[in-house]
A and B are shown apart, each in its own frame.
Chain A
């Protein structure tokens, strides 16, 4: 993978990993991950706890060094070019890293001095909208308010890339909804590229363009969401039906359901379905959560480069 500026632009990618490996002494946390995040894309990196998502995010932010491979931001090494790259990136970490004894007003004023392009009016408007009190120290804000404040600060300078590490972790349903609404609003307004590591499959399902699924440090799947939906299907068949005829589509699972069987295939093909005799009403796309379960339990994959 080249790190030239030519690949960083419209139609190019803004973030990428190439053969990225992270090792903590004897434990291999990330194993040779290669992926790219294209400009304007919302990339959701999914994985179970300890799969290596946060390690990859920290490496992309230049806060941690890869054991092997490369992490690139805007075509440059993320570790070496961190200060320059951070001017174009907004970050929401997994756990709030906001100074606990400072309030929102102070933090906004501080960020205004740090970022040359800072939209103060928009930031204050967003804070009002999300109900973050301006004069309350961070350590006295609710978890949801802290996340909203972090997200607002991350968006204040109009970043080209937004990197979020499980932003809805530990939030209640309402707070989660607010976070996704803010994110969707930002995407609608500016078309910001997003690299998102999360557990919140329901929330991300509505915004992600592409997903990557990490299983024990390895990228088991990396695919456009639409393609994934088209590829992974579930077919309900009456009892005694010859479901084995679907084998050419790659049967992932087959289990008894009410009055029949339910078969999941990983390379769905309309023509092949017609050939074995089936109607479209009997076929359903998998949800992202179902896909995630299928992949992480080792039943599907093959989308990773």
Chain B
């Protein structure tokens, strides 16, 4: 330590004028309010801004100059032997010089900040440990890098060529790794990789500068050789594992999924799935997976990059919205389209700015047209040639809902505000793409406080609309074209009704909650109640899908405390509507399409489609239920037994 102190003292003696400059900069910062570009700021802010700028400049400049000259300058002037002919170890010389650079840089910066900090109200707000850590890291990085570059230039060795090649390679590899990591949209992984990489690089820089001094001693060429060897070996030791990890990250397959977090089944055997994989942090890869064969396509960089996703009715196509970079002004989104057979992602010409992000994607039944809400308009495209085939202005785009009711006919449902604050009506219109005709077919008078369930069953041309009266909610079964009320399904206290499911034979099932628990009510197609089934009398009983005709998958949830029976975990059941018999699903399984996995919206699964057969296990795995036998087959998750 005595050696370190001696070298530190010598370096400080030689460059003590840095403190004087820092002090002068601190006094100059008091003149901040008179700096023309800062006249709009308060005097306090102006002084702080100038002081901060001068402090940063002092620190960066001092670190740069000291780093570039403390060793390189002495090697060039043949002065380094003065220290090496004393009883000082190479490590002490390196540490003393490095510490001097840190003390000079930070000291200059602190002196530049000091007058304003003590004179201005709140001027000491910057005195925080995070600031200290960043300042030290920055000064060490700049100073050490400058030291390495300085010695490399002084040596004038052929190693400079090697350095240039290695630097280019390292920058290229770093950019490639960074781009790949960034595209994974896993902020924790990116942050950990960035912090680890930066810290490791800082350590490598320090070790290289130590090798330069301790092993190079008084020879510039030897110092250059030592630093190059350590630096590039160290950089390789950082980049190779990082690149390897990035490859590992991006090589995830559906079999790597440990827990499924997003599940979007198509009409038949294809499913879009995303989730957590082992050892990959918050990276959540998404795949298009063929449940039958296990064939998969790495669909998206991450589930986080999907803003909306929809299958076509025939299951041949998938469309989604994904970020497409950013311009100077705004963030951009591209509409992506995938033809499933054979799997091929098609580049589309549709790019939208963040202000006009499309919503409510919907395919025509055969997947030939795609419609969505864009800005204030509903717009439709023919996918064959990406031609816009129609565009209509909407009353309230935020409430609009589009659905193809025929090959080239779109049902448009939207809220039309009335003259008064609480007036308005739900309008239903038919939009014919071939002729461009937009015809209002029906309306449902309501006040804006009415909630709009908008459960639509196009097959039977019915919809359910919820009305709110004082303290209660009323569900009405309406004609989906005219809005005409067919039946009142019932009234329940507010927030006590949810979960409506249209069955294949026209009946409908809804969940109604009371003080004693939730029950399922079964209605005929005309809206007359056929039965009320206790279905376990849990707090919530959610109808999730129709497995086969007359058999409904339900999920029950209860947060109340039972006697000896933990009620709070969700459970899954098969309910036979005719008999009311409730059969539990295999231990802990619940229907996968209910709840948090249902990320991108869309309609509930139709009868006997893939979505109705997917079960979620307590560990987050996905299984497929065989409707005939009731047996389950593992599909995804918990160490990816596909």
Contacts and interface: CB of A to CB of B under 8 A. Distances in A.
B328 interface: no
B85 A89 contact: yes
Contact of A64 (B13, B92, B217): B217
Nearest to B14: A101
Contact of B88 (A64, A100, A101, A114): A114
B9 interface: yes
A91 B217 CA distance: 16
A92 to B, nearest CB: 9
Given A63-B219, A114-B3, 20 more contacts: A61-B84, A61-B85, A64-B217, A64-B219, A82-B84, A83-B3, A86-B86, A87-B87, A91-B81, A93-B78, A97-B81, A97-B82, A98-B79, A99-B10, A99-B14, A100-B77, A111-B86, A113-B5, A113-B6, A113-B9
A58 interface: yes
Nearest to B219: A64
Contacts of B79: 97-100
Nearest to B84: A63
A239 interface: no
Closest 9 CB pairs of A and B: A87-B87, A91-B85, A97-B82, A63-B218, A86-B87, A83-B89, A97-B81, A97-B79, A114-B6
Contacts of A62: 84, 217
Contacts of A97: 78-82, 85
B355 interface: no
A125 interface: no
B81 A93 contact: yes
Contacts of A115: 86-87
B387 interface: no
23 contacts: A62-B84, A63-B85, A63-B218, A64-B218, A65-B222, A84-B87, A86-B86, A86-B87, A89-B85, A93-B78, A93-B81, A97-B79, A97-B82, A98-B82, A99-B14, A99-B82, A101-B14, A102-B10, A106-B13, A110-B10, A113-B2, A113-B9, A115-B86
Contacts of A61: 81, 84-85
Interface in A46-64: 58, 61-64
Contacts of B88: 83, 86, 114
Contacts of B219: 63-64
Interface string B79-105: 111101111111010000000000000
B: interface residue count bin:
20 to 34
Nearest to A165: B81
B391 to A, nearest CB: 76
A95 interface: yes
Name the residue among B2, B85, B89, B219 with the largest chain A CB count within 10 angstroms: B85
Nearest to A82: B84
A113 B7 CA distance: 10
A65 B85 CA distance: 15
A63 B217 contact: yes
A95 B78 CA distance: 8
Nearest to B82: A97
A97 B90 CA distance: 17
Nearest to B215: A65
A83 B84 CA distance: 8
A88 B575 CA distance: 95
A89 B88 CA distance: 12
A102 B16 CA distance: 12
A110 B96 CA distance: 14
A: interface residue count bin:
20 to 34
A147 to B, nearest CB: 14
B129 to A, nearest CB: 33
A136 to B, nearest CB: 15
Nearest to B88: A83
Name the residue among A61, A95, A102, A114 with the largest chain B CB count within 10 angstroms: A114
A82 to B, nearest CB: 7
Nearest to A154: B85
A64 B615 CA distance: 73
B6 A110 contact: yes
B404 to A, nearest CB: 79
A167 B212 CA distance: 29
A63 B89 CA distance: 11
A110 B77 CA distance: 20
Interface in A67-92: 82-84, 86-87, 89, 91
B154 to A, nearest CB: 16
B81 A114 contact: no
A111 B85 CA distance: 11
A99 B9 CA distance: 13
Name the residue among B13, B77, B87, B218 with the largest chain A CB count within 10 angstroms: B87
Interface string B2-35: 1101100110011000000000000000000000
A202 to B, nearest CB: 27
A170 B78 CA distance: 17
Contacts of A113: 2, 5-6, 9
A84 to B, nearest CB: 7
B218 A58 contact: yes
Given A63-B218, A98-B79, A93 B85 contact: yes
A98 B80 CA distance: 9
Contacts of A86: 84-88
B21 to A, nearest CB: 16
A63 B87 contact: no
Nearest to B91: A83
A97 B77 CA distance: 8
A74 to B, nearest CB: 13
Nearest to A87: B87
Contacts of A111: 86
A105 B77 CA distance: 22
Nearest to A93: B81
A81 to B, nearest CB: 11
Interface in B40-98: 77-82, 84-90, 92
A74 B622 CA distance: 76
Contacts of B14: 99, 101-102
Contacts of B10: 99, 102, 110
Contacts of B217: 62-64
Contacts of A65: 222
Contacts of B92: 83
Contacts of A63: 81, 84-85, 217-219
B611 to A, nearest CB: 73
A115 B6 CA distance: 10
Nearest to A58: B218
A115 B92 CA distance: 15
Contacts of B78: 93, 95, 97
Nearest to B92: A83
Interface in B335-370: none
Nearest to B80: A97
B236 to A, nearest CB: 25
Contacts of B2: 113-114
Contacts of B86: 86, 111, 114-115
B213 to A, nearest CB: 12
A100 B3 CA distance: 21
A55 to B, nearest CB: 11
Nearest to A86: B87
A106 B218 CA distance: 23
Nearest to A65: B222
B546 to A, nearest CB: 84
A93 B82 CA distance: 9
Interface string A130-164: 00000000000000000000000000000000000
A98 B222 CA distance: 22
Interface in B254-288: none
B600 to A, nearest CB: 67
Name the residue among A89, A110, A111 with the largest chain B CB count within 10 angstroms: A110
Name the residue among A62, A64, A99 with the largest chain B CB count within 10 angstroms: A99
Contacts of A100: 77, 79
A98 B82 CA distance: 6
B156 to A, nearest CB: 14
A170 to B, nearest CB: 14
Contacts of B9: 110, 113
